[in-house]
Structures are given as C-alpha cells and as structure tokens.
Homo-oligomer: A and B are copies of this chain.
Amino acid sequence: MKDVAALASVSNMTVSNVVNGRAGTVGEETRRRVERAMAELGFHPNFGARALRAQHSRTLGFLLRDESEAFLGDPFTSLMIAGVGDVLRDYDRMLLIQTVRSDGEPERLLDPVLRSQIDGAFVYTSGAPELRRWYIDRLGEIGLPFVVFDEILDSSDTLSVRGAERDAASALTTHLLEQGHERIAFIAAREPWVVLEQRRLGHVDALHGAGIDPSSELYLREATDWQPEIGGQMTRELMRLDRPPTAIMGGSDALAVGALQALAELDIRVPEDVAVTGYDDANYAAWVRPALTTVHVPVYEMGRVAAELLLAEIEGRPLDARQIVLPLQLVVRDST
C-alpha cells in the first residue's frame, strides 16, 4: 500500500480511502491518480491486515457437523450451502466451511469463531440435542451473529430457519387418508435427526385427526442409514405382516425408492395395491417409475433465506422475524 501511496504521491490514508470507496473524503482528481497507481502496481489490500485492524473479515462461516463421512456430499447439505453461497456472492462476502467429524472434538467447530476469523456463522449440526444446544449456547455467549438450521427454538432470539416439516408430513398423510388408506406405514433410519422426528409427529397428527391409532408394527426404524436397500428390507418386512399396510411413507426419497423396488420384486403394483410416498423431493423422485409422490423441501431456498437473515442482522438492518419457518409443498405424482 505504501508503494501505491508513494507512486501517487499521497499518503497511506488516502489510498485506504480510495480502496474502501469512502465517499466524499477524497478529491476526484486524487482518486484517479490513486486508482491508476493501484492498477499499475496490481495492488490488492492484504486480507490479514484488514481483518486484524478492522475486526471483521467479510467472511461468514458454515459450521457443519454430520454423522457421515462425505457429509458435504449429501445433496441436502450442499444445496443449502449453495443457497448460502449464492447470496453471499451477491453481497460480496466469502464463505468459509468448517466441519468436524462426529468422532472428533466438537469444540473445533467453533474455532473460526473463537479466532475471529468470521463475522457470522451458519450452524448445521446433527447429533444429540445436548450438543446442538451446547453449540447454540456457546455461540450466544460469544456474541457473534449466527443462524441455526432446523432447530426448533421457542422464546429465544436466536436466528433460525427451518421447514414446516410437521405440517407437511401431516398433509402428506392426509393425502393418503383421503385416498382411503387406513393402514399407513412409516419407515425411517434410526439416526437421530430432529427433522425426522417432526415428520413422524406430523404423520401421527394426521392419523389422530382421522381417529386412527398409529400402530407400532407399522412404524419401522431399524435401519442404520438412508440407502434404498434398507427401505427395501423394511418394506419386505411390512408386507409379511398379517395385515400389511396399503400405503408406505418413506422418511426420505431414497427409502421410498427402495420400497418401490421391493414392491416391484414382490409383484405388488404401485399405487394400485400399495401406495408409496417419499420425502425431500430429490431430483430422482421424478425420475423413478412410478414417479414418487413426495414433499418438496426447499433446501436451497432455506440457505438463501438464512443468508439474507444473517446479513441483515450483521449489517444492522431491521428483521421482520428472527425465526423463519418455510412452508413445504406436497408434490403428488404417480406413486399414490
């Protein structure tokens, strides 16, 4: 910077003012001289120095803790990050990704925060409620702005974004009930996941609403992961029941795909004999046959909304709401 200053025969401060486009503090002619000098020398402000002095980095952090290995590879997660990333790009901010394995030290997730490397954080964590709670509390103590995803917070001023999972699951179940189904199974993985609990609750809500008692033999959650094979296994198990279900709700699209496959192998027609629904509306939900009835979860949009929210908070703009719940859309296709 001092080279630029020298070349343009001005002081450091003037260069700084030009770089930061501080209006009305620098003469038109001087600005031009400085700009020319910057171009000539290929000057770019040093990030570390700026962060040190200005106490902010124009960088936001995505803090991610997931169970699986290729966590970031999860389409859900990456679409969320894409939403965040797209908005940040428009606001000219950068995104830092920090992740911890579920078998690593959880505190490490907060490193960028503790080191003042970021100006705000997006928090997307799996795992035990206590841990999730701990992260939120800790971040609150630290006082850095942050948004959490999928967390159900009452009477708190923590920023959060989530989908109306319970309502949507209820709507999906109601859709099935309206088709005349009464024995509706619900299959899922065993992994703890708040969102899934909500889906289950919504499902039960709707059953109760129709005066049906959820049967425990129709609620399978034996699996360890969300692969279709597991969905197939659970489906076979269900169809061996004395009174098999007439509809199977998958806790995710992948599980539903497995159900579809298993039913095809058993020569059971979908939707004539048994209806199947997914959840998430992954791209392939429309591509399998029969195309899956499912619930569209606007993950990308959630990322965008969260980013807008956090940026508004950071830039001191007024917020309409601190907790945002996005509606989910029922998508009826051919499997029901």
When each residue 201-221 of chain A gets 1 if its CB lies under 8 Å from chain B and 0 otherwise, what string results?
000000000000000000000
A241 at the interface (CB under 8 A from B): no
Within 8 A of B (CB), among A58-77: 59, 69-73, 75, 77
Given the known interface contacts A49-B52, A111-B44, the answer about A73 and B300 at a Cβ–Cβ threshold of 8 Å is yes
Residue of B nearest to A284 (CB): B284
Residue of B nearest to A112 (CB): B94
Would A82 and B89 count as touching, CB distance under 8 A? no
Would B94 and A97 count as touching, CB distance under 8 A? yes
Would B73 and A89 count as touching, CB distance under 8 A? no
Contact of A96 among B94, B284, B287 (CB under 8 A): B94
Q: Which residues of B contact A85 (CB under 8 A)?
A: 71-72, 97, 99
List A residues at the B interface (Cβ < 8 Å).
Answer: 42, 44-53, 57, 59, 69-73, 75, 77-79, 81-83, 85-86, 89, 94-101, 111-112, 114-117, 228, 254, 257, 261, 264, 283-284, 287-289, 300
Closest 10 CB pairs of A and B: A48-B51, A78-B78, A72-B82, A284-B284, A48-B52, A73-B82, A44-B114, A47-B117, A47-B115, A73-B79
20 extra A-B contacts, CB within 8 A, seeds A49-B52, A257-B287: A45-B115, A46-B116, A47-B115, A47-B116, A47-B117, A48-B57, A48-B116, A59-B96, A72-B82, A75-B75, A77-B78, A78-B82, A85-B99, A89-B99, A89-B100, A89-B101, A94-B97, A96-B96, A97-B97, A287-B288
